[in-house]
Structure 1
Amino acid sequence: MKSIKILAIAALCTFALSCNKKEGTAVSSTENIDSAQASTVVEALSQDSVNPDDAALAKEAQSKPLTTIAFSETDHSFGDIKKGEKVEHIYEVTNTGTNPLIISNVKPGCGCTVPDFTKEPILPGKKGKITLHFDSTNFDGAVNKAADVFVNVEKAPVRLTFSANITQ
Structure 2
Amino acid sequence: MTSCDKKAGNASEQTATQEDLSAADLINNPNTANPHEVPAGPLPKMTFAENVYDFGDIKPGAVVSHTFTFKNTGEAPLIIESATATCGCTVPNYPKEPIAPGKEGKIDVQFDSQGKTGQQNKQITIRANTQPNITELTIKTNILQ
Instruction: Name the TM-score, length of structure 1 as normaliser.
Output: 0.61
Aligned equivalents of 1:158, 1:149: Cα separation in 2: 5
Aligned equivalents of 2:93, 2:64: Cα separation in 1: 13
After superposition, the C-alpha distances for 1:103-145 in whole angstroms (9 at most, x for unaligned) are: 1100111100111111110011000010110000021111111
Matched positions, count: 109
Which residue matches 2:143? 166
Q: Which has the higher contact order (CA 8 A, sep 6+)?
A: 2
Answer yes or no: is the 8 Å Cα contact 1:107–1:115 preserved in 2. Answer: yes
The amino acid across from 2:32 in the alignment is Q
Residue 71 (1) aligns with residue 48 (2): yes
The unaligned stretches of length 5 or more in structure 2 are 1-29, 34-38
Aligned equivalents of 1:72, 1:82: Cα separation in 2: 27
Answer yes or no: is the 8 Å Cα contact 1:61–1:104 preserved in 2. Answer: no
Which residue matches 1:148? 125
Instruction: Name the TM-score, length of structure 2 as normaliser.
Output: 0.71
Residue 123 (1) aligns with residue 100 (2): yes
The unaligned stretches of length 5 or more in structure 1 are 1-59
Aligned equivalents of 2:80, 2:140: Cα separation in 1: 23
Which residue matches 1:103? 80
Shift in Å, 1:66: 2.9
Aligned equivalents of 2:112, 2:90: Cα separation in 1: 7
Shift in Å, 1:61: 7.9
Aligned equivalents of 1:109, 1:61: Cα separation in 2: 26
Shift in Å, 1:69: 1.6
Residue 82 (1) aligns with residue 82 (2): no
Answer yes or no: is the 8 Å Cα contact 1:61–1:102 preserved in 2. Answer: no
Aligned equivalents of 2:59, 2:133: Cα separation in 1: 34
In terms of Rg, which structure is larger? Answer: 1
After superposition, the C-alpha distances for 1:15-67 in whole angstroms (9 at most, x for unaligned) are: xxxxxxxxxxxxxxxxxxxxxxxxxxxxxxxxxxxxxxxxxxxxx88239731
Q: Percent identity?
A: 43
What secondary structure, in the 3-state scheme, does the structure 2 residue paired with 1:98 have?
coil
Which residue matches 2:32? 62
The amino acid across from 2:115 in the alignment is N
What secondary structure, in the 3-state scheme, does the structure 1 residue paired with 2:54 have?
strand
The amino acid across from 1:110 in the alignment is C
CA-based RMSD: 1.7
